Structure 1
Amino acid sequence: MSARSVQIRTVPESEIQRALRLAHLVFHESPESDQRRHQQELLSRCLRIGAYDGDELVGFAAALPFSLSVPGGGELPCPGLTFVSVAPTHRRRGVLSSLIGELYARCAEQGAPLVALWASEASIYGRFGFGPATYGTTVEIDSRRALALRVAPDPRPLRLVDPGAAPAALAPFFEATRARRAGRQARTEAWWREEWLVEKDEEDDELSPPRVVALGDPVAGYAIYRTKPGDDDAHTPGLVRVDDLEAESAEVAATLWSYLTAIDLTGRVRAWGRPLDDPLLLFAADRDQVRVTASFPSLWVRLVDVRAAFAARTWAAPVDVVLAVHDERLPANAGSYRLIASPDGFSYAATEDAPDLSLEARDLASAYMGATPVRALVRAGLAAEHTPGAASMLDAALHTELLPHTVDAF
């Protein structure tokens, strides 16, 4: 059966369970009833696109209604692509391409210049124009001894926050972090409660309910964490898993990390998804005690409308370059464009002038947030610099004080 016989249309709310059954089949999952209910509630609040072969749902994609911070403190609507599923009977027939093509069309209609996702298989989404826009690291700390630091911790007292009160207590400070770091989606109260503060962790039922510790009033930093008892037989010390930690200064961060590494009956701290420029990695006095055990792409972004995305961000330095953009999926983005931008203005217009740089839309997406320097793309053979110095000029304009970062997986 060809892709032309498959019809793409909105999945009605009455068929959400049907869509979930397809997703669970594709991802080999059998979630418990609480998680199923959560997934149904999540899908009831988002765009749902289905591929139908007759009456059979053979493909599905959902887009969560996110708003994403972009460099300079700007904000853009950015649907979060998730639950992407194609029935095993209909793979390699263009179903996925049709679903994503429909999503791009809907984004254009609704004025959303960006789409984002967390890739279950990184090899898939590059060909649809997505590029890694943020990166994360996993940090592990041996907390069987006191954490050695090169900075003095903030002396203000810490307090434990009841998880029920945490969204109201933490949200204003988290919103401030979004203005400083690109790549962060706004958190609604429901997102706080259902994604960050749910009592039972769906991946490890031995973990405690969430604990929240904060410093300052108003909040100047916080950590959300869970604990897990050790195993004497396996000689495994107790674990502190840090899910989210934000601090307004290195001193506040030092206080939070000191607290987390001093929790009784634990000997390990593991923090997944920390930013590449986490100051902990500099102010830790013993890097044998604080180790990076993994580094990975986190949020992937697709520039649906390059010009609108460029217009929404700020520019750190003047730039005047002609970009030859290759975009097979969205021809409106493709072509040669002169980018003229500075801290005071911006223009992006088609031109017949010879290009200074040539690159693909997926790589432009990675550079847009500041995660990947254009010079690195040139060195990797993924972009061509036709005019010496053009990549450095564009990098200076795209520069952000802090690297883009998020831990809000979806």
Structure 2
Amino acid sequence: MDIRDVPEAHLDRALDLAYLVFHERPEEEERKHRRELLLPCERIGAYDGEQLVGLLAAFPFTLSVPGADLPCPGLTYVAVAPTHRRRGVLSALMAEAFRRYEERGAPLAALWASEDAIYGRFGFGAATHGVTVEIDSRRPLALRIDPDERPLRLVEPADAPDVVGPYFESTRVLRAGRNPRDEARWTGEWLRDRDEDDDELSPARVVVLGDPVAGYAVYRTKGENEESHTPGLVRVDELEADSPAVAAALWRYLASIDLTSTVRAWGRPLDDPLLFFSGDRDQVRVTGQYPALWVRLVDVRAALTARSWAAAADLVLEVHDSRMPANSGRFRLTTGPDGARHEPTGDPVDLSFGVRELAACYLGGTKVADLAAAGLVEEHTPGAAAVLDAALRTPRLPHTDDGF
């Protein structure tokens, strides 16, 4: 195999490979859209002669981590031709990607996994989780708090990047695990006229509360299908709010849209305030939970010393990383309000990690103690996991619903 860049002239080959692997046959408009998405990506290919048999692309993202934004390539369109499976193609693509990211000083990489079983062996850990929430909107939404009574207004999707884009950016840093969005990402992904997963859904709608903006929701609707007896649906793609009262007003609005009887919100955080201020949890139900963003620590030292810490800790950690041996070793991690120090040491170990487990805990969304209880982290010093958990803690759980 020859591992090299995929030039723009080979973009159609790259798309053909992706469609082959993911069993897709998009229409020409969708193919054009995905071609435009791939253009700004770094594209690494595996070639067998002149045949493209493996692909790994990456968006040039940054990622919010506690206290900082860090360079974080967003891996996408990872694909290997079925004729070339189990020949080391994916391993070679990942090795080249990691080499480049390490050379450029990117401490992290991230992806959304099409199959959970694949990426753990490359050191990715599930760093954020999401839930799907459904509201039975056949009756008024029961709430335990008073909603914000300021007026709501609908915003044209074409105007939404200017109206809600700055607000999103201001709230993005309040949770770890989120990428910035430029106008192209707003219009090309979140606010597209047609939803590729369900062509019965309406174009995107954007409802805003407050001026200046105090919260907004992006949603799509579809009416009842009499032939299939499918009820009318409001699908919520995103909801951001300054306060619980603003969130309550937006949820109340979504649950009161005429000719619909279900509100379905995919990609909500595990600590979504709706789940607490709902007055009837039979009406507001969590119907699914899943790993969302998978993170890889490309440079353990740089990643740990770049984020902020919630409490003081002084622990000796031992990390194992078979894919990037420079990360492996024993070091003392000292954290406090001024940041963290990472120093090699020969002192006795308090906690032993695989790099995958450390990545899962890095944003504060997975507890070290839970992984120790599951036998995935070895606690040599009793109480060490709790000490590290206290230092990793964030005010809100990390979360993103921005797939790529």
| Corresponding residue number in structure 2 for 1:205 | 199
Q: What are the Cα deviations for residues 38-82 of structure 1, in whole angstroms up to 9, with x where unaligned?
A: 11111110100000111111111100111110012x101111111
Are residues 1:55 and 2:46 paired? no
Match of 1:155 in 2: 149
Equivalent of 2:268 in 241, 257, 274: 274
Aligned equivalents of 1:382 and 1:272: distance in 2? 29
Match of 2:120 in 1: 126
Alpha-carbon distance in structure 1 between the residues aligned to 2:107 and 2:280: 44
From 289, 292, 308, the equivalent of 1:295 is 289
SS in 2 for 1:34: helix
Of 83, 88, 91 in structure 1, the residue corresponding to residue 85 of structure 2 is: 91
Classify the secondary structure of the residue corresponding to 2:394. Answer: coil
Name the residue aligned to 2:62: 67
Q: Which amino acid aligns with 2:257?
A: I
Tell me how far 1:354 sits from its aligned partner.
1.4
Question: Aligned-pair distance for 1:233?
Answer: 4.2
Deviations 1:253-274 (A, max 9, x none): 0000000000011111000010
Sequence identity (%): 65
Q: How many residues align?
A: 404
Render the CA deviation track for 1:102-132: whole Å, top value 9, x for unaligned: 0001101211111100000000000000000
Tell me the equivalent position of 1:3. none
Deviations 1:219-253 (A, max 9, x none): 11000000011023444321000001011110000
Measure the CA separation in 2 of the matches of 1:111 and 1:383.
27
Distance 2:245 2:112 in 1: 32
Q: Is 2:366 the counterpart of 1:372?
A: yes
After superposition, residues 8-407 of structure 1 pair within 5 angstroms as 8-72=3-67, 74-407=68-401
Separation of aligned partners in 2, 1:216 and 1:332: 50
1:278 corresponds to which letter in structure 2?
D
Task: Provide the secondary structure at the position in 1 that maps to 2:158.
Answer: coil
Q: Give, in whole Å, the separation in 2 of the partners of 1:273 and 1:106.
A: 31
Gaps of 5+ in 1: 1-5
Distance in 2 (CA, whole Å) between partners of 1:17 and 1:59 is 13
Q: Counterpart amino acid of 1:318?
A: A
How far apart, CA to CA, are the structure 2 residues paired with 1:33 and 1:326? Answer: 46
Q: Distance in 1 between matches of 2:345 and 2:31?
A: 51
- The Cα shift of 1:388 comes to 1.0
SS of alignment partner, residue 221 of structure 2: strand
- Give 1:89 deviation, angstroms: 1.0
Superposition deviation, residue 156 in structure 1: 0.8
Give, in angstroms, the shift of residue 195 of structure 1: 0.6
Aligned CA RMSD, in angstroms, stands at 0.8
Distance in structure 2 (CA, Å) of the matches to 1:177 and 1:365: 23
Q: Distance in 1 between matches of 2:230 and 2:56?
A: 41
Helix, strand or coil at the partner of 2:322: coil
Q: TM-score, normalised by structure 1?
A: 0.97
In 2, Cα distance between the equivalents of 1:98 and 1:223? 42
In structure 1, distance between residues paired with 2:379 and 2:61:
35
Moved over 6 A (4+): none
* Offset of residue 176 of structure 1: 1.6
Give yes or no for contact 2:128–2:293 (8 Å, CA) kept in 1. Answer: yes
Corresponding residue SS for 1:165: helix
